Structure 1
């Protein structure tokens, strides 16, 4: 049972409270060496924070689609799955093979979206070799969550994983619906411009509130959230099981950081409701 929402329904009024960015880690994943992404732990944290559901991702080839699909089958009222494939042309002689793999995954489990991680999977968002792949994704009707934050350990040049690369992609494939993870990182104002230029771009709040606390970027985040919240273009997420000093950050902590920010920038109840669940629920058809 999902517990009382700990005051969130009174504050935000969301029909459904959703962590829009969470990772499940199977025991064979290299990420499991440093983080605990066990489904039961995520369920516990969702309950503790009063959340109804979480959007959970595979990350090809490091976190298997089957593992995520199995968790979603076991908890269909709590987990919403995003598939992952590797569109990298250096891996596949035919980039459309990744689209075929995605179509096959959808015949086996009704994933609600696609997760791509360019800096880990080693491809550039706007590489024209991937245009046909993204056109197939549009035909499948799937939104795409793209990791978009600069980090030192990257398989592609840092400049290849910035928000303006998403703008280039959308000019080639205008029908694509994209969730920009981590609000574009320190380039959050660039992500804001991309969202203004393209009506189906959403920014998620995962990790950035913790990462940029006390910096000028924190002020940029507040500015962008204030501007885009009325347009229903901001999505709450935690990046579970992101860790800090070897201790997993509770979802409640991420929730409270965001709620405090919403109060500071004076969002109204409807805007908070959109961020905390209604926007992602509308996008994925969860109502």
Structure 2
């Protein structure tokens, strides 16, 4: 059984999850990971959600040796405040920051986003950027967010960015962007679970075989369970080589975050 590295888990300080009857506690995350043989997870905070606080969040993360802590950032703050905040979270020990445009009520052309990429790069942090854009009609984008993303990435072309959810239904378009740019990673969290039995399964199978060095998977905990993701991954990768499965399962994120993992691989 290949160990897995969860690209996107959202443990919360309250243990609750955005008005849903889901347990998002750190303790449950650890238990679920151990049951399904996950060796690491990006523990990702969300600004303004469930009492999120940089200091308290990373203190919880540091109680365990399997978390890569990622800070939730509010992109609507001033550029000066963002520069100070990103430097602060780096000093606390965070390894990345997450930007969630929908939660923040912004689009990918928002004025502070290029500066956020600049500041994260200067502090050797990875930026996690949500690419899921579906919503009620009043908030639905009336343009193609992909090209706004490309324009944003061009402002700091060597910043390290994980494209969360991989563009969801536009998966292949985002994959080709990642293919040509080694500082980008295509994350399949949520998408790999949400569109089960759709034509997107074929796209995912193709990418697991053809883009194995640039893809990662995650649960979007607590939205999906670690055992369910493992089952999906194993089902979609039946004809994929062991080497490629290791890349997708944990090696790509290990390399991207330049972190050491205690990995035991059982065939």
Give the aligned partner of residue 246 of structure 1: none
1:239 aligns with 2:220: yes
Give the aligned partner of residue 53 of structure 2: 64
Give the aligned partner of residue 71 of structure 2: 83
Give the aligned partner of residue 23 of structure 1: 10
TM-score computed with the length of structure 1 as normaliser? 0.82
Shift of 1:201: 1.1
Following the alignment from structure 2 to structure 1, what is the Cα–Cα distance between the partners of residues 142 and 16? 27
Give the aligned partner of residue 135 of structure 1: 118
Give the aligned partner of residue 285 of structure 1: 258
Shift of 1:161: 8.0
Give the aligned partner of residue 105 of structure 1: 89
Following the alignment from structure 1 to structure 2, what is the Cα–Cα distance between the partners of residues 277 and 256? 16
Following the alignment from structure 2 to structure 1, what is the Cα–Cα distance between the partners of residues 149 and 180? 11
Residue-by-residue CA offset, 1:22-46 (whole Å, 9 max, x unaligned)? 0012228661543211011101100
Q: Secondary structure at the match of 1:31?
A: coil
Consecutive unaligned residues in structure 1, runs of 5 or more:
1-6, 10-16, 243-248
1:187 aligns with 2:176: no
Give the aligned partner of residue 253 of structure 1: 228
Q: Secondary structure at the match of 1:170?
A: helix
Equivalent in 134, 151, 155 of residue 172 of structure 1: 155
1:54 aligns with 2:41: yes
Consecutive unaligned residues in structure 2, runs of 5 or more:
261-267
Equivalent in 197, 201, 218 of residue 218 of structure 1: 201
Following the alignment from structure 1 to structure 2, what is the Cα–Cα distance between the partners of residues 111 and 84? 10
Following the alignment from structure 2 to structure 1, what is the Cα–Cα distance between the partners of residues 11 and 197? 29
Shift of 1:195: 0.8
Aligned-pair RMSD on alpha carbons? Answer: 2.2
Map 1:27-42; keep pairs closer than 5 Å. Answer: 27=14, 31=18, 33-42=20-29
Q: How many residues align?
A: 258
Name whichever structure is richer in helix by fraction: 1
TM-score computed with the length of structure 2 as normaliser? 0.88
Contact 2:6/2:40, CA 8 A, preserved across alignment: yes
